[in-house]
Structure 1
Amino acid sequence: MATKKKHYTEEEILKSKTSALKADGEWKYRKRNYRQALNSFSAAIELTPKEKKCFVSRSKCYIQLGQFRNALIDAEASLVEDPFFPEGVYQKAEALYYIGEFEFALVFYRRGLKLRHQMEGWRVGIHKAEEAIIGSVGSRSFIKPEVMGDLSYLEEEIGRKQPIAVVQNLTKKDRSPVAMKNERTTRQLLGGFYQHKGFLEKLLKDEDLIKGVTKNGERVDDLIKNCITSLNHCADFWSQEKPISPKEISRQPKPPKPSLTTRKAQYLLKSFDEITPLATGNPKCSLRKTEDIIKTVQGLTDKECLIKDELMCFLHSCMGLAFFDLGDLDRAMEHHEDDLNLARQCNIPDAISRALANIGSIYAETKQFEKAIEFWIERIPYVHEGLENTWMLHEIGCCYLELNYPEKARDYALCSIAAAEEMFEDMWQLRASVLAGQCELILGNFESSVSLFEKALSLAELENDGTARKAIQKALKEANEQLQNQQQSSQNEKNEEEKEEQEEDA
């Protein structure tokens, strides 16, 4: 019997077209073809004017193209039906920041932090907005939010009809580009862009040029200043990024700071600075130093040290890391278990999270994947940093794949991708996409596997990772071959069915 063709409703067709345009826009955005990506998102918005995620994506394109006012308009449009849509609030804060309205950007970064505190972008935004305000005003007291004056519009935002009424009513300020405090640091951060920044600064000195106006009615002076400010913002943002993997973050314990005035306290504070880097650099020296500090801490009275238990947790963690680096996993486990038991007894959440991560890592190292999963899943409620969450979800997925549970592995990989996308973390999107692609290949979902490997390949190209690119190309080739075989097999079956029908009719 011939299979009946499925008839799609207009709504389904519209949804399908919109999804295709969104996917096309996202692909072009990742390839840094921002203008083409903008066109795709605009076409998607024409089909579904209430699609808030499309407005957010187009707003991102506008920011990349330096059209910050348009970025704000789209960010506002994404909040019309849902004023608490986190991605829209974040994009509005970003647009306000790039326009130069740092105080209002700070308000929305802080609002977003309350909406979705696990998203690391809010904290980065708060930091850079505060720094920008200090640079332009000179006093941190200015940035303390007060429920008074012009901020009252926040309470009435839901009822506003004009999307950018706030910005339209703002006093226009002639803000000069915010300068970085250390020009040498700026040069290192911007790399080749530093020369462009210098060229733009020279253009500002040309009085005849800056008086000009473009065809669109924009002042040349404003355009140049906006470009310089954008470069300074980029340098400021890059200076905040830490080139350290989430795995290393979870391994490194953060020393508590005892508020003591004794000589022993001063010795402890100095010692913490020494053993923390040694735990990952010189494990033998770290062990010796940590053992000495443990004796000192144990000799302190409760009056001399009010956080003695917290200090002992930290020191057990350092000992565990040192033994791990020396290959003595049994003794490493002993110290991490001591860290966990004491942390639970004293209810120290950060120490509990740290110990669970380290114990899970030891079980994964010894190929006891079920145990590793057990400890890492227990740790999930304690994780508040987006990047650490991305890493941990990826590692749980890897363990499930090792245990031959590809469906569970895929689910955790997709969660890791979502967390990495929230953090705008391309490298972890790449790793999680590869893991998800491998799972889909095993499950026989070849079309999905090809899509995930293609995404990973584009990210590898953006990261300029040649090794990853070669490995992904090989996996993508295999997935494509399997997909072609599957399609050919389906076509052969269809042909056989049609042939049988023709014979029956005859």
Structure 2
Amino acid sequence: MADDDEEVVSGPVCSYLTYKSEGDRLYILGEYEKAINSYTHALQQEPKNRNCLVARSRCYLAMGNTTLALKDAEASQLGNKEFYKGLYRKAESLYAKGEFELALMFYHRGHKLRPDDRNFRLGIQKAREAIDNSVGSPSSVKLETRGDLSFFYRREEKVLPKTKSQLRRQKLNLKQQSMKTEQDAPKTNKTVRVLLGELYGDKEYLENLLLDKELMKTNTESGGTIQELIVNGITFLDTRTEFWRQQKPIFAREREQRIKAQSWKTQRKQAETEQTTFILQRMEEIDMLLADGYPEECKTKAMELVQIVKEWSQREVPNKAEFLGNLYNVIGLAQVELGEFEDALTSHQKDLQIARKFDNLEAKSRALDNIGRVYARIGEFSKAVEVWSEKEPLTKTHLERTWLFHEIGRCHLELGNNVEARDYGLKALASAQKTGDEEWKMNANVLVAQAELKQSKLQTAVTFFEQALSKARLLNDEPAQEAISNALKDNKRQIEQAEQLKQKEIEQLHEKQRAHRLKQTKTQSGDTENTTREVKLEQGETAEDGEIEKETAEEVEAEKEESAEEVTEKEETGDDIENEKEEAAEEETDKGETAEEAAAPKNE
């Protein structure tokens, strides 16, 4: 080791790629310590190279050095928490250390970043199985808020017996109580301290906080109380104590997997031939190439192995169909990574044909899963829904159903089928509630909120966005918090705009109603004026007619008077004429008399 350290200090003499390639080759050969030295030389030239840190972490893990494996995995994520290879290595290291809950959390984060990567899905499954094997399934565990403080309560309530019979009874009760305590919990605080390690101080701190009654009444931003958070923390630590006290071996899940394995897998183990051993070794190499981000090399080696397996007989390779299906599956995954989606569809469909031919339900579910993913990636959402709907009866766990319902809902949302998207989102939320997975609860709430938003149900969308935001805060997922907060703000802004528009429409409607009423009022006023005017006109006409009639009567009277006057005048005129005639006659008479008088002298 001293020589190795001196060699490391002396500095690299070759290029980074040379050392990195040498390390990859040594790892495949199983020379992990030499591979670590090569990777260390490579990192001297590029200390922050993430891929090299991940590769060295993988070697440390293969040697069983989980501490250094975790250290390199975390170093590969510095500056980029979304580096999925480092995230996978961190989860694997935590799993190997027995930190199943933390490993499960990081598997979920990786699955969120790379939903097409089957390694994260397998990691989620094995972490859950390890937790179930260690502490039992959640349904079989009844958690109680019981801590060491109960001992002090019992001690304060204890009263010294006054008689021998009471003393015997008390001793018997204490004995039964101690027997029950031995069965249900660790024996002493010393045992608890050893089991919890550094967490024991946290447990004591939480128990002391419970004594602060004022603090217990304080509410949190998410709507709960401080007391609930503290009790949950103590409960977790109690459960953790029990877990470490009676845990099974770290890899106890392998026994369960063997029990659940298909019969054809059992046959493979019973009849392993030289060819089978060769295929298994090559397939492990191919899987590691895909996991480490070398899809081109993975595809090439897998295609070469397919041709080799096809040339062997069923007798030489008893599980020939199984191997071919797995190889087509890996080829399809590599082609997806390379963006060769049409070829990937072909590969996954070959995997599906083999699974249907041999009635392998697990392989059929896997192939349908991958085909649906490819359709979704290329935008063929209706085909993805059709394929995933065929997969739905093959799902086995609530977590798998949660993912499937969510993806079908997303496709419906892309297709504009908002009602179907909401329904599948609610299904995903219900399944996530059963799994207790906070991240999938968040995703399902977002999907339902988006579907409701598309249907213009803005207030309902706000409710689901707020629930998703609370889950994001619980997970301490800052990118998700930011995205959901922005969507929530936009949603609330739309509600405000809708309310303003509605208010404006109401005001316009009121304005129209006022204008209409005013018009009606004016019309009625005009009608009244017209009626009044007509009445007045009628009255005026009647008055005028009366005056005319009066005038006519007066004229008639006047005419009559004039006629009477004329008659009178005529009578007077006649009298005058008579008088004139009489006067004329008189004059004539006078003239005759005059003439006679004149003639008389003459005669004389």
> TM-score w.r.t. structure 2 length?
0.44
Cα distance in 2 between the residues matched to 1:332 and 1:494: 57
In structure 2, relative to structure 1, the CA distance for the partners of 1:261 and 1:370 (3 Å cut) is closer
Structure 2 match to 1:291: 303
Structure 1 unaligned residues grouped into runs of 5+: 1-118, 132-167, 180-185, 188-192, 202-224, 242-254
Please state how far the C-alpha of 1:371 moved relative to its aligned partner: 1.1
Query: Which of 276, 289, 309 lines up with 2:287 in the alignment?
Result: 276
Please state how far the C-alpha of 1:385 moved relative to its aligned partner: 2.5
In structure 2, relative to structure 1, the CA distance for the partners of 1:120 and 1:493 (3 Å cut) is farther
User: Which secondary structure state, in structure 1, belongs to the residue aligned with residue 198 of structure 2?
Assistant: helix
In structure 2, relative to structure 1, the CA distance for the partners of 1:227 and 1:473 (3 Å cut) is closer
Asked if the contact 2:273–2:317 (Cα under 8 Å) also holds between the matched residues in 1, the reply is: no
Name the aligned partner's letter for residue 353 of structure 1: S
Alignment partner of 1:386 is 2:398:
yes
Name the aligned partner's letter for residue 439 of structure 2: M
Please state how far the C-alpha of 1:200 moved relative to its aligned partner: 6.7
Cα distance in 2 between the residues matched to 1:278 and 1:436: 38
CA displacement, residues 7-44 of structure 1 (integer Å, 9 cap, x when unaligned): xxxxxxxxxxxxxxxxxxxxxxxxxxxxxxxxxxxxxx
Cα distance in 1 between the residues matched to 2:305 and 2:127: 37
Matches within 5 A, 1:248-267: 258-259=268-269, 260-267=271-278
In structure 2, relative to structure 1, the CA distance for the partners of 1:227 and 1:275 (3 Å cut) is closer
Query: Which of 425, 428, 452 lines up with 2:437 in the alignment?
Result: 425
CA displacement, residues 305-355 of structure 1 (integer Å, 9 cap, x when unaligned): 332212211111111111111222222111111111121111111111111
Name the aligned partner's letter for residue 480 of structure 1: K
- Greater Rg, structure 1 or structure 2? 2
Number of matched pairs:
306
In structure 2, relative to structure 1, the CA distance for the partners of 1:291 and 1:384 (3 Å cut) is same
Query: Which of 329, 333, 343 lines up with 2:341 in the alignment?
Result: 329
Asked if the contact 1:447–1:483 (Cα under 8 Å) also holds between the matched residues in 2, the reply is: yes
Structure 1 match to 2:417: 405
Matches within 5 A, 1:173-184: 173-175=181-183, 177=186
Please state how far the C-alpha of 1:198 moved relative to its aligned partner: 6.2
Please state how far the C-alpha of 1:490 moved relative to its aligned partner: 6.7
Please state how far the C-alpha of 1:274 moved relative to its aligned partner: 1.9
User: Which secondary structure state, in structure 2, belongs to the residue aligned with residue 301 of structure 1?
Assistant: coil
Cα distance in 1 between the residues matched to 2:177 and 2:322: 51
Cα distance in 2 between the residues matched to 1:494 and 1:240: 68
Asked if the contact 1:409–1:436 (Cα under 8 Å) also holds between the matched residues in 2, the reply is: yes
Query: Which of 345, 349, 353 lines up with 2:357 in the alignment?
Result: 345
In structure 2, relative to structure 1, the CA distance for the partners of 1:121 and 1:455 (3 Å cut) is farther
Please state how far the C-alpha of 1:458 moved relative to its aligned partner: 0.6
Asked if the contact 1:256–1:311 (Cα under 8 Å) also holds between the matched residues in 2, the reply is: no
Matches within 5 A, 1:280-319: 280-281=291-292, 282-319=294-331
Query: Which of 484, 487, 491 lines up with 1:479 in the alignment?
Result: 491
Cα distance in 1 between the residues matched to 2:343 and 2:236: 56
Structure 2 match to 1:128: 134
Structure 2 match to 1:414: 426
Cα distance in 2 between the residues matched to 1:372 and 1:169: 60
Please state how far the C-alpha of 1:463 moved relative to its aligned partner: 1.3
Asked if the contact 2:275–2:317 (Cα under 8 Å) also holds between the matched residues in 1, the reply is: no
CA displacement, residues 174-201 of structure 1 (integer Å, 9 cap, x when unaligned): 145399xxxxxx99xxxxx852326879
Matches within 5 A, 1:124-273: 126-129=132-135, 172-175=180-183, 177=186, 194-197=197-200, 229-232=238-241, 258-259=268-269, 260-273=271-284
Structure 1 match to 2:587: none
CA displacement, residues 126-185 of structure 1 (integer Å, 9 cap, x when unaligned): 522469xxxxxxxxxxxxxxxxxxxxxxxxxxxxxxxxxxxx999625145399xxxxxx
User: Which secondary structure state, in structure 1, belongs to the residue aligned with residue 182 of structure 2?
Assistant: coil
Structure 2 match to 1:462: 474
Cα distance in 2 between the residues matched to 1:484 and 1:234: 52
Matches within 5 A, 1:62-101: none
User: Which secondary structure state, in structure 2, belongs to the residue aligned with residue 302 of structure 1?
Assistant: coil
User: Which secondary structure state, in structure 2, belongs to the residue aligned with residue 172 of structure 1?
Assistant: helix
Cα distance in 2 between the residues matched to 1:178 and 1:270: 48
Alignment partner of 1:375 is 2:387:
yes
Name the aligned partner's letter for residue 315 of structure 1: L
Name the aligned partner's letter for residue 316 of structure 2: E
In structure 2, relative to structure 1, the CA distance for the partners of 1:391 and 1:200 (3 Å cut) is closer
Please state how far the C-alpha of 1:278 moved relative to its aligned partner: 2.2
Structure 2 unaligned residues grouped into runs of 5+: 1-124, 138-175, 189-193, 205-233, 252-263, 518-604
Asked if the contact 1:360–1:375 (Cα under 8 Å) also holds between the matched residues in 2, the reply is: yes
Please state how far the C-alpha of 1:454 moved relative to its aligned partner: 0.3
Asked if the contact 1:286–1:322 (Cα under 8 Å) also holds between the matched residues in 2, the reply is: yes
Please state how far the C-alpha of 1:423 moved relative to its aligned partner: 0.9
In structure 2, relative to structure 1, the CA distance for the partners of 1:226 and 1:465 (3 Å cut) is closer
Please state how far the C-alpha of 1:124 moved relative to its aligned partner: 6.6
Relative contact order higher in (CA < 8 Å, ≥ 6 apart) = 1
CA displacement, residues 235-293 of structure 1 (integer Å, 9 cap, x when unaligned): 899x999xxxxxxxxxxxxx957223422122122223222232343212222332333
Structure with greater proportional helix content: 2
Cα distance in 2 between the residues matched to 1:195 and 1:321: 43
Name the aligned partner's letter for residue 391 of structure 2: R
Name the aligned partner's letter for residue 309 of structure 1: A
> TM-score w.r.t. structure 1 length?
0.52
In structure 2, relative to structure 1, the CA distance for the partners of 1:434 and 1:381 (3 Å cut) is same
Asked if the contact 1:120–1:386 (Cα under 8 Å) also holds between the matched residues in 2, the reply is: no
Asked if the contact 1:177–1:229 (Cα under 8 Å) also holds between the matched residues in 2, the reply is: no
Name the aligned partner's letter for residue 174 of structure 1: E
Structure 2 match to 1:451: 463
In structure 2, relative to structure 1, the CA distance for the partners of 1:449 and 1:231 (3 Å cut) is same
Asked if the contact 1:434–1:452 (Cα under 8 Å) also holds between the matched residues in 2, the reply is: yes
Name the aligned partner's letter for residue 133 of structure 2: H
Asked if the contact 1:440–1:449 (Cα under 8 Å) also holds between the matched residues in 2, the reply is: yes
Structure 1 match to 2:166: none
In structure 2, relative to structure 1, the CA distance for the partners of 1:169 and 1:404 (3 Å cut) is farther
Comparing 390-399 with 277-286, greater Cα deviation is found at 277-286
